[in-house]
Amino acid sequence: MHKRIGILTSGGDCPGLNAVIRAVVRRAALSNTSVLGIKNGWRGLIEGDVEPLNRSSVTGILPRGGTILGTSRTSPTKDAETTDAILHNWRHFELTGLIAVGGEGTLKGAFEMWQKHNLPLLGVPKTIDNDLSGTDRTFGFDTAVSVVVDAIDRLHSTAESHHRVMVVEVMGRHTGWIAAYGGIAGGADVVLVPEHPFHISRVCAQLSKRQEQGRLFSIIVVAEDAHPATDEDFLSDEARSTIYQHDRLGGIGTLLAREIEMRLNVETRVTKLGYVQRGGSPTAYDRILATRFGIKAFEMVEAGEWGRMVSLQGTSITSVSLEEAIREVKYLDEIIFRLVDIFAG
Interface positions with ligand F6P (CB under 6 A): 12, 103, 127-129, 171-173, 224, 248-249, 278
Give the nearest residue (CB) to ligand F6P: 171
Question: What is the SS3 string spanning 44-64?
Answer: HHHHCCEEEECHHHHCCCCCC
3-state secondary structure (DSSP) of residue 327 = helix
Residue number, 46 or 249, with CB nearest to ligand F6P: 249
Q: Is the dihedral of CA 50, 54, 59, 62 positive or negative?
A: positive
Instruction: Specify whether the CB–CB gap between 45 and 15 falls below 8 A.
Output: no
Least distance to ligand F6P, CB of residue 302, Å: 30
Query: Would you state the torsion angle of the CA atoms of residues 38, 276, 107, 75, taken in this order, to the nearest 10 degrees?
Result: -60
Cα–Cα nearest to 11, from 137, 131, 189, 167 = 131
Please state the closest distance from residue 242 (CB atom) to ligand F6P, in A.
14
Output the smallest distance, CB 139 to ligand F6P, in A.
Answer: 13
39/278 with CB nearer ligand F6P: 278
- Which residue type sits at 328? E
Q: Tell me how far apart the alpha carbons of residues 24 and 3 are, in angstroms, rounded to a whole number.
A: 14
Residues designated catalytic: 129
Q: Alpha-carbon distance 286 to 265, whole Å?
A: 42
Which lies closer to ligand F6P via its Cβ, residue 203 or residue 223? 223
Comparison of 199 and 248: residue with beta carbon closer to ligand F6P: 248
Question: Using CA atoms, how far apart are residues 91 and 210, in angstroms rounded to an integer?
Answer: 65
Least CB distance to ligand F6P at residue 128 (A): 5
Residue 12 or 253 with smaller CB distance to ligand F6P: 12
Q: How far is the CB of 310 from ligand F6P (least distance, A)?
A: 18
By C-beta, is 44 or 140 nearer to ligand F6P?
140
DSSP letter at 171 equals -
Compute and round to an integer the Cα radius of gyration of the chain: 22
- Please state the length of the chain: 345
Give 3-state DSSP helix, strand, coil % of the chain, rounded to 5: 45, 20, 35
Distances (CA, A) of 25 to 56, 57, 91, 253: 10, 9, 21, 42
Rounded least distance, CB 313 to ligand F6P, Å: 22
